[in-house]
Structure 1
Amino acid sequence: IFVAETKSWREAQDYCRGLFYDLISIHSAVENEAVYNVSASQNVWIGLFKDSWKWSDGSNTSFRYWKPRQPTNSPGQNCVAAVFIDKGQWNDLNCVGKQPFVCSGENLILIKENRTWIEAMGYCREHHIDLVHITTKHIQGKVAETAKNATSPHVWIGLRYTCEFNFWFWTKSTSACYQNWAPGQGPEGTYACDVTGAIQATGRQQWVGLPETEKLNFICYANTGK
């Protein structure tokens, strides 16, 4: 998702995490081309930052597309922009500079295999990005539409319950406040440990808490270009 509004790298990261999933991670030349195709700008922030050069969403990929003599590793140049005037090659820049940016999070894939919640999360992280996080009404609508094609009555999402502290949380930290619990579920419910979140595949398509050992279809965020 291309965002034309200019922000610092950290502001862009917060924006993407609040409304979508995260700043985009680029795993291949094909994905770099896909980012170019959605971008109307010469420079856009991507999710790479200098902590041994890691991706914001935790992706594990060795793909790099640096400009010649980049990164410079100059003091303060700890964030990365794709520079499409230079064939989309990457440049390390000061993180406080203002750039447009690209978020990930609208490409959803329904996996019609019945797996436990832990297995589903592992599959999404190995083959795509992660289990889907529903942080806005807009994303809820897209997830609900995708879930209609499931072969199980519920579909796993990236929501988990901690019995120690008695609250629900997304597996990736987010400040989103959006909720869509079924009656008696979520903060109104009483749960044992090892409970995780799912969306109803039909009906009102609200969220419920289920034992993580149940085997259900699940929805992953997909990488750009896949």
Structure 2
Amino acid sequence: MEETCLLLILLLSGGLSTLPPHSREYHFVNQLMNWTEAQSYCRANFTDLVTIYNIDISQLLLSVSPRISTWAWIGLYNDRYSWKWSMEGKLFYVGSTHEFLIWANDQPDCLNANEYCVALQGQTQMNDRPCGDSYPFLCYNAKNTSYILVKESRSWSEAQSYCRTYHTDLTSIRSKEEKSNITLTLNGSGVQYVWIGLYRDPWAPWSDNTTSTFTNWAYSQPNNYNSVEYCGMFNLMTGEWADVFCGLRLYFFCFTGEVQNANTVRSCHHVKH
């Protein structure tokens, strides 16, 4: 039988507002699993992998774990397909199932854990790029259903502000027809990269589908080394975090209790190994 360590936390009213609103039990599971296996184990036997909301919970996890120089999984992961459109503000899965949305070879790769905005490369293929890079950009005007290429190079957020000020927003690509109109607009422009309205929030939400503003990354982390590190681990000596390959086999933390938002529908997150 596996070994688990347990700490029951009773959260009293009037406590810190950053604490999860319900009582939670935190479990350290002394078994080696990859991140997806650990997630499945926690969901089958407890509630989910742990979400860390503040330094107090981080210290509590240290108190229930053996003080050894190794790492353990937490519910932190970086879903590289959790993209959404600036114009709608809604989640929109951008995988390989939409023939009008084509990623360039080996994209998205979140190089150096620093690429969370999307540009069209060569007018037709998508490439995740650092949001601070300066490129021309493509606006959409809903009044006359037109696409406007602005050749002045700006960062993604600056381009978004410009499009929202003078038009409707950065363009989205939601159909073959839109893709065709965009290709016609860019034809002969000579631009290598052009911003569109696709972006994502890094490391959010956690496995239990809640979000946390607290972070405790170790120095130079996350770095997505070799573009394969999309899961978060917890140092059992320091409580610091690092990103790592999701197929690594580690100990892990589970919790029992309600999630932060009782109305949230938990969805399964598939992590590619």
Give the structure, 1 or 2, with the largest relative contact order (CA under 8 Å, sep 6 or more): 2
Which protein has the larger Cα radius of gyration, Structure 1 or Structure 2?
Answer: 2
